[in-house]
Amino acid sequence: MSIINLTSKQLRRAASITEQIEELQNELNKLGGGSTTPAETAKPRRKMSAAGRARISAAAKARWAKVKGSKQSTKPAAKKKFRMSAAAKAKISAAAKARWAKIKAAKK
């Protein structure tokens, strides 16, 4: 059921229920010693200067350069691709056609 289909009486009832929920939530927070609003419980965000970020970035780049520079290439040498000649392709094609002709003839 969407809000569009609700009557004005149902909307007022929904609003009052929402208010009751908020009041009860505030009471529960007070009992538990917590704050009444979630914004008060959030920790302030730390701010970092541009210079601090630059130092961290430079250190990370230096670490990666050290790791990458000391290792040998871990990739295996690329294998030379095998190229089939036109004559070899024709030979294989002829053998396959003969094989399928034999199978089709056996089915009849």
Q: What's the half-sphere exposure (Cβ side, CA atoms, 13 Å) at 82?
A: 3
Q: What is the reported pLDDT for 38? A: 58
Tokens of 28: 């529960």
Tokens of 85: 């000649």
Amino acid at 31: L
> Scanning the structure block, which residue is given the tokens 């809000």?
3
**DSSP annotation of 32:** T
> Scanning the structure block, which residue is given the tokens 């914004």?
39
Out of 34-38, 55-59, 101-105, which region has the weakest mean confidence (pLDDT)?
34-38
- Diameter over CA atoms, the chain: 90
Q: Indicate whether this model's pTM tops 0.75.
A: no
Q: What is the reported pLDDT for 95? A: 97
